[in-house]
């Protein structure tokens, strides 16, 4: 059975002596009556303080002190070490430690075991001087076993973490645990013209850590809003280099998605050398900012499944698993090559149960907590894309509408100022009249930027300083609006 948030947090608090079983029961009863998460109910009952809760939820993964604490069988770790030695021509235990991202004492236990099994042979101290580090070499038997292991699974690198550790870590660093206050939300949207009502609506949606639907006509900032939502989170999470599922390896850490946070005393978020200050940290995990993953029309069902490499014989985690603990933005929803209903059917279980299920090519199925803020952004009618059952599974639905004339004037002046331009009242009113009266179009947030950029490019072409003229503005509007079509040009639909 999948782990639950309450069971995991309760176990941690019990183990740390911060709560009793009776305390947990009281908090769960309060949770049933008043809602919220277990931790906040414990704080409300004054069982623990907010500081204690934060400390539990943000605990760094501790380095394993023994082979058993790695969560992996000794035989598997031995094969991984032999593959590292064979593939990278390693000689010393320090080099093996850096490859496996395991503590030195654990690696030395593996070295001792490999030496006893005559898989490794000691060559003497490096440099031939006293105090140097012992150098090792694969024996013929060790070389054969390394080759066999590589044929079975070509993964070479930091040792994976166990599936159970991965499940527990996802829950412990839930995105819903991070509070995003009103001041931070207002600061994130400070360069956009948004209403107080929007701030009051989007704030709870962000703090829910669940799913949001942004819908409305094109060109009114849905993509920009979604990007800012994803960048609002400031917490640090720990992402494993890889996860072990019954001997199969799934790579999770992706440098193109995960942005490491440098811990004090280390140069990078990768496995640290001997001088690392945080020696008790498990370097199989990378400290990262909460990820922001954005997909658009390229999204397919295959991208939501494990990707098995038939040559290297290990898996790459799907894109939404790499977004765990962060934000997953599906932009231009409804314009993917796959039918919207098929994508939605794939998401129903994760959004409802907050767990997703993955299947290995061997048929083995496993679950992971589905903890991420999913944002759907579309300029199509949601009722044409989603049935009522699915819409119910998206708790927050926010419509982005076109600006009023008053708001449009604000946007125009703000955008123009960013380009170093100063529009006169005559220019602004001319733009509004041309769009709404002459062409019968709706005002949209993207229009000022397009007009300003056209004016700058036209002045550049003519070799004169950038400035507004009614002639240049009229020409820009001619490029912006399709004549006689009553629709915006495709190139102007970008938020």
pLDDT digit string (tens) for 371-386? 999 999 998 899 888 8
Per the domain annotation, does 88 fall within a domain? yes
Q: Does residue 62 fall inside a structural domain?
A: no
Q: Are residues 393 and 412 in the same domain?
A: no
**Which ranges of 17-120 would DSSP assign to H, the alpha helix?**
21-34, 38-44, 50-57, 74-88, 93-100, 104-116
pLDDT-derived band at 269, boundaries 50, 70, 90: very low
Question: Which of 373, 399, 425 delimits the end of a domain?
Answer: 399
Same domain, 22 and 105: no
Q: Which residue has tokens 């006169």?
A: 424
Asked if 345 and 482 sit in the same domain, the reply is no
**Average of per-residue pLDDT across 161-185:** 90
Q: Residue 448 sits in which domain range?
A: 405-492
State whether 295 and 214 are in the same domain: yes
CB atoms < 10 A from the CB of 115, how many? 16
Question: What does the pLDDT look like over 278-287, one tens digit per residue?
Answer: 457 899 999 8
| Structural domain contains residue 182 | no
Q: Which residue has the tokens 């495709």?
A: 490
Indicate if the pLDDT at residue 244 is higher than 70.
Answer: yes
Q: How confident is the model at residue 130 (pLDDT cuts 50, 70, 90)?
A: low
171, part of any domain: no
CA end-to-end span of the chain: 43
Same domain (yes/no): 253, 145: no
Judgement on whether residues 430 and 299 belong to the same structural domain of the protein:
no
In 364-472, where do the E strands start and end? 365-369, 373-378, 396-399
Q: Note the pLDDT tens digit of each residue in 40-53.
A: 788 889 998 887 87
Residue 151 neighbours by CB distance under 10 Å: 9
Is a pLDDT exceeding 50 seen at residue 102? yes
Q: Which residue has better confidence, 145 or 379? A: 145
CATH classification of the domain holding 440: 1.10.8
Give the domain CATH number at 116. Answer: 1.10.10.10
What residues pair up with 294 in beta bridges, in sequence order?
Answer: 329
Number of separate domains in the chain: 4
Quick count: other Cβ atoms within 10 Å of Cβ 346?
Answer: 15
What band does 267 get if pLDDT is binned at 50, 70 and 90?
A: very low
**The last residue of a domain, from among 382, 399, 416:** 399
My answer on whether 35 and 88 are in the same domain is: no
Of the listed ranges 313-322, 431-440, 448-457, the one predicted with least confidence: 431-440
37 vs 138, residue with greater confidence = 138
For residue 452, what pLDDT is reported?
Answer: 94
Decide if pLDDT at 58 tops 70: no
pLDDT for res 335: 87
Which of 54-63, 95-104, 228-237 has the highest average model confidence (pLDDT)? 95-104
When pLDDT is cut at 50, 70 and 90, the band that residue 14 belongs to is confident
Q: Kindly state whether residue 435 falls inside one of the protein's structural domains.
A: yes
Residue where a domain terminates, one of 57, 81, 96:
57
| Mean pLDDT estimate for the chain | 86
Specify which residues 328 forms β-bridges with.
293, 374
Residues 84, 119: contact at Cβ < 8 Å?
no
The answer to whether residue 172 is domain-embedded is: no
- Here the tokens at position 245 are 């599922």
| 117-128 pLDDT per residue, tens | 999 999 888 765
Same-domain check for residues 16 and 83? no
Domain match, 416 and 488 both: yes
Contacts of 435 (CB under 8 A, 6+ apart): 441, 442, 443, 447, 477, 481
Across the range 100-111, mean pLDDT stands at: 95
pLDDT (tens digit per residue) in 396-405: 999 888 889 9
| pLDDT tops 60 at residue 62 | yes
229-238, 277-286, 320-329, 485-494: range with lowest mean pLDDT: 485-494
Nearest to 159 by CA among 258, 261, 238, 76: 76
Mean pLDDT of 358-378: 92
Same domain, 242 and 352: yes
- Tell me what pLDDT residue 163 has: 94
Residue 493 has pLDDT above 60, yes or no: no
pLDDT value at 263 more than 70: no
Asked if 386 and 428 sit in the same domain, the reply is no
Task: Tell me whether residue 143 is in a domain.
Answer: yes
pLDDT band at 484, cuts 50/70/90?
A: low
Residue 301 belongs to domain with CATH number: 3.40.50.300
124 lies in a domain?
yes
CA 422 to mean position of chain CA atoms: 40
Residues 238 and 386 in one domain: yes
């Amino acid at each position: 059975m999948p782990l639950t948030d309450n069971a995991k947090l309760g176990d941690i608090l019990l183990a740390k002596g911060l709560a009793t079983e009776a305390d947990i029961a009281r908090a769960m009863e309060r949770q049933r009556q008043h809602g919220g998460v277990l931790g906040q109910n414990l704080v409300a009952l004054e069982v623990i303080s907010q500081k204690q809760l934060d400390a539990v939820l943000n605990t760094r993964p501790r380095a394993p002190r023994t082979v058993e604490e790695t969560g992996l069988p000794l035989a598997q770790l031995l094969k991984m070490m032999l593959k590292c030695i064979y593939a990278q021509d390693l000689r010393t235990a320090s080099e093996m430690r850096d490859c496996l991202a395991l503590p030195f004492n654990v690696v030395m236990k593996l070295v001792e075991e490999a030496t006893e099994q005559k898989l490794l042979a000691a060559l003497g101290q490096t440099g031939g001087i006293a105090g140097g580090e012992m150098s090792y070499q694969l024996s013929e038997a060790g070389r054969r076993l390394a080759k066999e292991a590589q044929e079975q699974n070509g993964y070479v690198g930091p040792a994976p973490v166990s599936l159970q550790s991965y499940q527990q870590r996802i829950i412990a660093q839930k995105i819903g645990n991070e509070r995003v206050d009103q001041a931070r939300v207002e600061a994130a949207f400070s360069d956009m013209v948004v209403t107080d009502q929007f701030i009051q609506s989007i704030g709870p949606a962000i703090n829910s850590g669940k799913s949001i639907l942004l819908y409305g006509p094109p060109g009114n900032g849905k993509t920009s809003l979604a990007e800012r939502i994803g960048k609002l989170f400031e917490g640090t999470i720990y992402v494993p280099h890889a996860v072990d599922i019954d001997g199969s390896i799934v790579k999770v850490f992706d440098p193109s998605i995960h942005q490491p946070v440098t811990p004090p005393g280390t140069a990078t978020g990768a496995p640290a050398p001997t001088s690392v200050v945080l020696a008790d940290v498990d370097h199989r995990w990378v400290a990262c900012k909460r990820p922001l993953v954005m997909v658009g029309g390229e999204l397919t069902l295959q991208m939501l499944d494990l990707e098995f490499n038939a040559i290297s014989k290990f898996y790459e985690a799907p894109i939404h698993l790499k977004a765990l603990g962060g934000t997953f933005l599906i932009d231009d929803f409804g314009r993917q090559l796959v039918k919207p209903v098929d994508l939605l059917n794939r998401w129903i279980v994760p959004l409802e149960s907050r767990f997703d299920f993955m299947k290995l090519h061997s048929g083995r199925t496993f679950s992971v907590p589905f903890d991420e803020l999913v944002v759907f952004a579309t300029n199509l009618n949601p009722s044409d894309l989603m049935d009522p059952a699915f819409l119910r599974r998206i708790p927050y639905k926010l419509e982005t509408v076109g600006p009023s004339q008053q708001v449009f004037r604000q946007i125009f002046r703000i955008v123009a100022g960013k380009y170093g331009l100063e529009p006169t009242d005559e220019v602004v009113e001319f733009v509004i009249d041309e769009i709404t009266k002459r062409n019968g179009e709706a005002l949209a947030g993207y229009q000022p930027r397009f007009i300003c950029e056209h004016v700058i490019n036209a002045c550049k072409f003519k070799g004169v300083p950038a400035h507004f003229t009614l002639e240049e503005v009229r020409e820009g509007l001619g490029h912006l609006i399709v004549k006689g079509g009553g629709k915006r040009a495709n190139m102007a639909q970008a938020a």
